[in-house]
Every structure is written in C-alpha cells, then in structure tokens.
C-alpha cells in the first residue's frame, strides 16, 4: 500500500511556511539564529521563533509550543477537513513527536509555588502532560481516531510518522495527521549545556572545527493518507522507513554507527530500493563530535563507493529536537518537488578522522531528485529513517 503525503505545514525560525524555509535553506540564511540569555544567566545561540509573529492559540492551554503548532497546522487545515469529509472523523489518527511537556507554563507555575506556597489558580498539572500536543490536534479538528504522542528525543517525529503509516497500513485508520513540534526553552538550553553539547558559535556539522549543537524551535505536519488528497501538489509517497535502538548510552551514540546503519538498511529494505537509487540524504548532522562521526561511518558503510549527495540543514533551522524528523522530511519534500538540493552550510574543513561524505555545494546543486532519505538519530540510540519519492506511479 502506498502512503501519500500532503504538502507540509511548517513553522520555524528559518521560515513561517515551507516556501520561506526552502528559500532560507537555498540561500544559507542563518539570520533566524540569534544569541539568547536564559533564566540562569547563560547565553546561547538558538533558532527561536519571534513570539511577536505568533497569534494566541485556540487551545485550552495557550503557550508558545501550541501557538507554533497551530500556526503550522493551519497550513494544512483544508486538507485535514477534506480527509474528514472523505473518511469520517473516527478514521483519522493523530501522531505527534515532541520532547516538551509545557515547560513554559510549568516553570512559571512552580516559581509561583515556591514564592507563595501555592500554584496559580489557573495552573493545571495537565499543562505538563506529554500528550497535550496530540490531544490539542484531536480537539481542534474533532478527530476520533487513535491519538498518540512519541517522545524519543531527536527521532520523535520521525517515529510518529512511521507509526502513522503503520496505522494506515494495518487498517486501523485511513489517514493521519502526523509530524512534530518542539521549542528551545530555557530549560532545554541549560539542560543541553550541562551535557557540554551546545556550540559556542552557530553549529558547524561535520567540520573538523565542529563544537556542538545549536537548538531551535520548529513544527512540521503532514496529512498521511492511503490515497492522494492534496490536489495542489505532486503525488509524493512515503516509500519506506526503518528503526533501530542500539541503547549504547543514555546520551551518546554507539561510536561505531552500527545502530544508525541498521536503521538506514531497514529503511532501504522496506522501500525495496538499492543504495544507489537514493538521490539525497538529509543527514541528522547535529554538529557534536560523536554524532557526526558515527553518522559518517554509518552512511559510508551502507553506501560505500556510491557517494550519495547529502547535507545537514540544522545550521539554518537549528536542531528542533522532537520536531527535527518531520521538519527535515518537509525539506526532503521540497527537494523532490523542486528538483533541487539544499546545500551544506559549514566552513568546509573536512575531518580526516571521519569517512568523507559528498556534501551538496551551494554553488552547484543541480540534480535529479526522485528519492530522498532522512536520518534521525536520537539519545538512547533511538534511530529512525524515512524514505520519500516523487516517482510513486512506477513503484509498488
């Protein structure tokens, strides 16, 4: 069974829709990344969305993460309504990946508790529920199918999209709203800083000079369905997917890249394609020493002498954590529909200790793009890979 993707609804610091994001990527525009000071007094580069660009949400709990989520969802609202008309509200699932649990409101609530000995009257523990990013969608669009939230760190939304596809293929539903949303809150920034994982400058993935992550806000959502519903776009299919869990360490990947390699191989096998059929890989590419190294080893092990074109887009978007898989699938969607590849934005200094990769050059990215692979490799070795194609008619 083919799983069709609608156009994505996107909102990030690099663009408030898919078109703006794509333009920023092609131009290497890093203006969405700025330096911020957290409540601890520390300062970090982050791709945060300007809150003045966000409207109050229609959710029961109005917070930044829900405002961003709703801004992205509105871009595919008409397609969700079309799916409801065709299949019925009970046949549409919701699958969302996210790592935030209402930190914006929970931190404010706990501050009041420690100051006054009581939470504010409007505070509810439900604000901290991991499920609310999914529950909000079901409530907003009156969807009655399965509602699932996934929190596997950086692979959360990739896992959510995989589960949505499996629900459709199993007959549990006919369509699904799937994607991810996350924010680079003060808690998140200070937490990653405690791991010594944040770069002192804008992230520089795969460079010998790389020194860590740049975090960011972001959201991306698709309507997945068993038949194409978005007549405004070419027919793009989720061709395959693969997951693995190497469980090497709570925060560090297996340095050999074996877990990432297994996920890539499973995705290619599930898609029924050979490595040489892949036109582009959107690398996970966080900019940390260990993650970039193991991913380079995994890609080299699978693709060998076939030097597939690749790049990481996090130097423009920031690392959007649980939303990264969906946001980067939206980027692959744009690559297929526009027949152009997003360039690698970095200093160009290769790390000779890693296998060399064939990065997309900003000045020479003309390419035929039919099949894209998107990598998401998370804390705890939770790995997920997605394959999409713009040539689904000729494939079974």
pLDDT digits (tens, 9 = 90+) for 53-81: 899 999 998 899 999 999 999 999 999 99
CA 228 from centroid of its chain's CA atoms? 22
Q: Is the pLDDT of residue 396 over 90?
A: no
C-alpha 133/C-alpha 326 separation (Å) is 14
pLDDT of residue 101: 79
- CATH number of the domain residue 315 falls in: 3.40.47.10
**The whole model's pTM is what?**
0.95
pLDDT of residue 32: 98
pLDDT higher for 111 or 252?
111
Residue 155 domain-assigned (yes or no): yes
Which of 95, 148, 154, 385 is labelled catalytic? 154
> In the chain, how many domains are there?
1
Which of 99, 148, 173, 284 is labelled catalytic? 284
8-state DSSP, 361: B
Least confident of 170-179, 293-302, 344-353, 356-365: 356-365
C-alpha 181/C-alpha 183 separation (Å) is 7
Residue 394 domain-assigned (yes or no): no
pLDDT higher for 121 or 183?
183
The domain in which residue 78 lies consists of 3-389
Burial class (CB in 10 A: 0-12, 13-18, 19+), 144: middle
C-alpha 65/C-alpha 183 separation (Å) is 6
Which of 99, 148, 173, 319 is labelled catalytic? 319
Q: Mean per-residue pLDDT for 138-155?
A: 96
Residue 147 domain-assigned (yes or no): yes
Residue 203 domain-assigned (yes or no): yes
Residue 223 domain-assigned (yes or no): yes
pLDDT of residue 251: 67
Cβ neighbors of 135 (< 8 A, separation 6 or more) are 129, 147
pLDDT of residue 380: 77
pLDDT averaged over the chain?
93
Catalytic residue check, 154: yes
Residue 396 domain-assigned (yes or no): no
Residue 42 domain-assigned (yes or no): yes
Residue 395 domain-assigned (yes or no): no
pLDDT of residue 120: 85
């Amino acid at each position: 069974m083919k799983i069709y993707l609608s156009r994505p609804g996107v909102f990030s610091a690099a663009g408030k829709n898919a078109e703006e994001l794509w333009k920023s990527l092609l131009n290497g525009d890093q203006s969405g990344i700025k330096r911020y000071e957290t409540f601890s007094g520390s300062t970090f580069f982050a791709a945060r969305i300007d809150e003045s660009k966000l409207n109050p949400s229609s959710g029961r709990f109005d917070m930044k993460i829900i405002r961003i989520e709703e801004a992205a969802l509105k871009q595919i609202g008409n397609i969700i309504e079309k799916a409801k008309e065709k299949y019925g509200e009970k046949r549409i699932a919701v699958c969302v990946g996210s790592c935030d649990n209402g930190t914006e409101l929970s931190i404010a609530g706990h501050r009041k508790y420690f100051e006054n000995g009581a939470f504010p009257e409007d505070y509810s523990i439900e604000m901290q529920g991991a499920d609310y990013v999914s529950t909000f969608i079901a409530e907003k669009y009156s969807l009655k199918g399965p509602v699932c939230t996934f929190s596997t760190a950086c692979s959360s939304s990739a896992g959510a999209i995989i589960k949505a596809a499996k629900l459709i293929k199993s007959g549990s539903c006919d369509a699904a709203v799937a994607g991810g949303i996350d924010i680079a809150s003060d808690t998140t920034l200070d937490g990653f800083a405690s791991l010594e994982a944040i770069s002192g400058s804008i992230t520089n993935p795969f460079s010998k000079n790389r020194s860590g992550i740049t975090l960011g806000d972001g959201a991306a959502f698709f309507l997945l369905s068993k038949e194409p519903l978005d007549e405004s776009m070419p027919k793009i299919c989720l061709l395959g997917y693969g997951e693995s869990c190497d469980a090497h360490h709570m925060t560090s990947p297996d340095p050999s890249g074996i877990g990432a390699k297994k996920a890539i191989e499973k995705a290619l096998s599930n898609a029924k394609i050979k490595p040489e059929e892949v036109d582009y890989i959107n690398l996970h590419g966080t900019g940390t020493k260990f993650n970039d190294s193991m991913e380079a080893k995994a890609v080299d092990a699978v693709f060998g002498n076939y030097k597939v074109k690749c790049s990481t887009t996090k130097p423009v978007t920031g690392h959007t954590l649980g939303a990264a898989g969906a946001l980067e699938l939206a980027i692959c969607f744009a690559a297929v529909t526009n027949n152009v590849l997003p360039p690698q934005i970095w200093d160009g200094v290769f790390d000779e200790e890693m296998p060399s990769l064939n990065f997309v050059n900003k000045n020479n990215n003309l390419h035929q793009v039919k099949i894209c692979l998107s990598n998401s490799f998370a804390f705890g070795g939770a790995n997920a890979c997605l394959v999409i194609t713009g040539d689904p008619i000729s494939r079974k």
